[in-house]
């Protein structure tokens, strides 16, 4: 491979691992050093000394003895190192609280993996996971370009926003989406990244007051104030200034234990590039267009030099969505889209699972880059409930560096060059800075060594699309967003690439770093179609309707409920039915399944019972209808007159009466 391309590929990989690598390192019982923030080259996960103290996030059970025995202020959160340590015979140190029942704990001389095993046995612990470092999504192994190439913008401009054609198969057709909506200034997309350069003219008026969480969980054993300040690189710990001071790493720093394993690199300005793709000022006669047009960006800094810890990222996620974080001022501008162009290898942890669920409860959608190693999708992109984004080339095939697997939701343009030498033809244009270390001045990425390439930049195109969807339907839930993105995605191409390109295979231990034809089991449901996804939000909702028989229900007689009269909007289908009793639940019950088009109600007492039917279509839209049924008493039994014993049956009496009449007529 061309030497310059190899260098660029390494840089791309570094960016992806800058946030992700810490997880895999700590899973081996090592403490990873700070996140690397260079999507320009693949960063190997930082490797710190084996004797580094263990660091975990622990959640206590509701009503746990430790919480009852030790009073604590709700605002401060739990600080249970002493109580838990005495029970286990360990020397533990408190870290920051993340909620009223969760906190960071450290153990000097004990690995994170060993600390997880020890705490998992404690009866007061609901779950415990390693507090691992995550890294900016690293740069690709795709053929890149020499460092000495001319710094010109891609000749094709912002090809990824236009309508797709035979050349730009993966273009997302944002132009057609803008015909329906340009979003709105009240729509907020949070960018959890390396921070932002607010002086860039194309971001003027687009940035909201954010927060810097780098150093949030310091000081603590193994994470001293000095270390945190070195990683933060801005002279302060967590504060209300999310500006990016630069995340460069020198060769001298890489030779120290503090930055051991961190690759030498220039500053990436990664967060500024992500923000520009989402919401650069549009239709202002200068610079570039942002895919979300009128949306605002909430900058949340969670990555410093060489990355950031899970606890800081999770705290940033919660704060960005408007949830309370102990010790941090509330966020006045909650975001409904959370962009995470970061991650690492390994399974999704309970800490991320809980955070994603909490964000879903407030209808905040989490979008995560799949990663750039050509391997299986790692955390947090593999967490249930997130939108996981793989990267494709301009031709719609998987770009070699993109991670893949069944966890991927869909694919979007990630940038590629198309040749081994010369300018990068199909990079993604975005906002940046010219500084190689500290900021120097605003710029735009080019077709040269700073070309914007990686799944880190596919994710913001999806985040921008979600924001446009929310402009049409502000109440759309993350589950509905995911369903709509999947159902409106365009099919992957299966031909048209060069000779030797085959179908992508399931991820394995060896990187699948060559171009391949995406499948629905490797790259998600298809190619991002911004226009169709936005249009799906303006379609009519389904209509729920049902009948019941008999029309006059009675005790002891089953009632058949039938939802066949429910309908879906044109072009959609009903995929789910759910029956429920919302009033009078003691008077009747269901005698069978409640998730089919029909259901059976069994009345047991007289009175009124309200039955509800919820129908859901293939885009996740729902509609609810209800009816009140009046349950009547069972009919009174008819008396039966027995013969003998001085009594006669009704039939016998009727016969006697008839005989009397006949005899009377004869006498006359």
Helix (H) or strand (E) holding 627: strand 622-631
HSE (side-chain half, CA atoms, 13 Å) at 115 = 35
What are the DSSP calls for 122-149, one per residue? Answer: -TTEEEEEE--EEEEPBPPSS----TTS
CA torsion through residues 588, 590, 595, 597, sign: negative
- Which residues, including other chains, have CB under 8 Å from residue 391's CB and lie 6 or more apart? 370, 372, 398, 399, 401, 402, 411, 412, 413, 414, 415, 454, 455, 458
| Residue 336: both structure tokens together | 């409904």
- Beta strands 296-301 and 365-369 are unpaired
| Residues 343, 133 contacting (CB under 8 angstroms) | no
2 is catalytic: no
> How far is the first Cα of the chain from the last one, in angstroms, to the nearest whole number?
129
In terms of Cα–Cα distance, which of 52, 9, 14, 45 is closest to 30? 52
Q: Are 38 and 136 in contact (CB under 8 A)?
A: yes
What is residue 63's three-state secondary structure? coil
d(CA 493, CA 518): 8
Q: Exactly one of 430, 456, 467, 621 is catalytic; name it.
A: 456
Nearest residue to 4 via CA among 40, 44, 45: 40
Q: What are the φ/ψ torsions at residue 140 (nearest 5 degrees)?
A: -70, 165
The residues with which 391 forms a beta bridge, in sequence order, are 412
The backbone torsions φ and ψ at residue 457, rounded to the nearest 5 degrees and listed phi first, read -105, -10
Rounded to an integer, what distance in angstroms lies between the CA atom of residue 274 and that of residue 9? 19
Nearest to 430 by CA among 297, 249, 248, 308: 297
Nearest in space to 439 (alpha carbons), one of 196, 136, 137, 151: 196
Instruction: Write down the catalytic residue from 131, 193, 202, 617.
Output: 193
In the block, residue with structure tokens 């300040």: 229
Whether the bond into 380 is cis, omega within 30 of 0: yes
Q: Say if residue 550 is preceded by a cis peptide, omega within 30 of 0.
A: yes
Instruction: Output the CA–CA distances (angstroms, integers) from residue 522 to 82, 360, 375, 391, 453, in the order listed.
Output: 47, 25, 11, 11, 20
The Cα 32–Cα 19 span in angstroms is 10
Is 170 among the catalytic positions? no
Q: DSSP string covering 394-459, please?
A: TTSSBPTT--BSTT--EEEE--B-SSSSSS-TBPBP-EEES-SSS---EEE--SSTT-B-SHHHHH
Give how far Cα 8 sits from Cα of 271, 448, 492, Å: 19, 10, 27
| Contacts for 223 with CB less than 8 Å, ≥ 6 apart | 55, 95, 106, 217, 309
Is 200 annotated as catalytic? no
> What is the rounded CA–CA span in Å between residue 151 and residue 136?
24
Preceding peptide of 219 cis, ω within 30°: yes
Query: How far does Cα 302 stand from its chain's mean position?
Result: 17
Identify the active-site residue in 8, 200, 270, 394: 270
Residue 439 CB contacts under 8 Å (≥ 6 apart), including other chains: 197, 244, 245, 246, 267, 269, 433
Active site amino acids:
193, 270, 456
């Amino acid at each position: 491979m061309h030497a310059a391309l190899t260098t660029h590929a390494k840089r791309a990989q570094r960016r992806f691992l800058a946030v992700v690598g810490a997880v895999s390192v700590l899973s081996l019982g090592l403490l990873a050093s700070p996140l690397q923030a260079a999507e320009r080259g693949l960063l190997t996960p930082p490797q710190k000394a084996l004797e580094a103290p263990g660091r975990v996030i622990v959640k206590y059970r509701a009503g746990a003895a430790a919480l009852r025995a030790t009073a604590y202020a709700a605002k401060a959160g739990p600080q249970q190192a002493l109580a838990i340590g005495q029970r286990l015979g360990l020397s533990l140190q408190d870290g920051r609280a993340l909620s009223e029942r969760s906190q960071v704990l450290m153990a000097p001389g004990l690995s994170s993996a060993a600390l997880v095993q020890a705490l998992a046995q404690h009866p007061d612990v609901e779950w415990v996971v390693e507090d691992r470092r995550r890294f900016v999504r690293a740069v690709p192994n795709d053929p890149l370009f020499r460092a000495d190439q001319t710094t010109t913008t891609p000749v094709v401009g912002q090809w990824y926003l236009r309508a797709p054609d035979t050349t730009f198969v993966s273009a997302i057709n944002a132009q057609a989406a803008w015909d329906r909506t340009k979003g709105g200034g009240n729509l907020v997309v949070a960018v959890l990244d390396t921070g932002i350069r607010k002086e860039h003219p194309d971001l003027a008026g687009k940035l909201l007051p954010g927060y810097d969480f780098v150093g949030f969980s310091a000081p603590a054993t193994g994470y001293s104030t000095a270390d945190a300040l070195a990683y933060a690189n801005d002279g302060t710990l967590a504060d209300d200034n999310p500006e990016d001071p630069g995340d460069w790493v020198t060769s001298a720093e890489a030779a120290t234990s503090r930055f051991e394993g961190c690759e030498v690199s220039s500053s990436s300005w990664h967060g500024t590039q992500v923000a520009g793709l989402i919401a650069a000022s549009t239709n202002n006669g200068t610079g570039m267009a942002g895919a979300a047009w009128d949306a605002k960006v909430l900058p949340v800094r969670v990555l410093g030099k060489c990355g950031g810890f899970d606890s800081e990222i999770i705290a940033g996620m919660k704060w960005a969505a408007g949830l309370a974080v102990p010790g941090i001022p509330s966020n006045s501008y909650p975001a409904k889209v959370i962009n995470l162009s970061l991650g690492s290898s390994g399974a999704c942890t309970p800490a991320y699972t809980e955070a994603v669920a909490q964000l879903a409860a407030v209808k905040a959608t989490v979008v995560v880059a799949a990663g750039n190693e050509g391997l299986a999708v790692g955390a947090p992109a593999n967490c249930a409930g997130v939108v996981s984004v793989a990267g494709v080339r301009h031709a719609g095939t998987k770009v070699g560096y993109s991670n893949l697997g069944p966890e991927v939701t869909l694919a979007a343009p990630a940038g590629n060059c198309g040749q081994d030498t010369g300018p990068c033809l199909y990079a993604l244009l975005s906002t940046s800075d010219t500084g190689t270390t500290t900021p120097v001045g605003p710029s735009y990425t080019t077709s040269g060594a700073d070309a914007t390439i990686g799944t880190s930049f596919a994710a913001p195109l999806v985040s921008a699309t979600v924001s446009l969807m929310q402009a049409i339907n502000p109440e759309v839930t993350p589950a509905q967003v995911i369903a709509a993105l999947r159902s409106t995605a365009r099919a992957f191409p299966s031909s048209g690439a060069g000779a030797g390109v085959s179908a992508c295979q399931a991820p394995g231990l060896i990187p699948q770093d060559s171009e391949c034809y995406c499948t629905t089991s490797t790259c998600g449901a298809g190619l991002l179609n911004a226009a169709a996804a936005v249009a799906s939000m303006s379609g009519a909702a389904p209509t729920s309707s049902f009948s019941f028989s008999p029309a006059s229900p009675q005790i002891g007689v089953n009632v058949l409920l039938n939802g066949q009269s429910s309908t879906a909007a044109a072009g959609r289908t009903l995929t789910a039915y759910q029956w429920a009793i919302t009033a009078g639940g003691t008077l009747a019950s269901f005698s069978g399944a409640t998730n089919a088009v029909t259901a059976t109600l069994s009345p047991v007492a007289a009175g009124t019972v309200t039955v509800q039917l919820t129908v859901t279509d293939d885009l996740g839209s729902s509609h609810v209808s209800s009816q009140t049924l009046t349950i009547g008493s069972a009919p009174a039994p008819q008396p039966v007159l027995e013969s003998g014993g001085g009594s006669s049956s009704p039939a016998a009496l009727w016969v006697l009466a008839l005989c009397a009449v006949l005899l009377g007529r004869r006498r006359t």
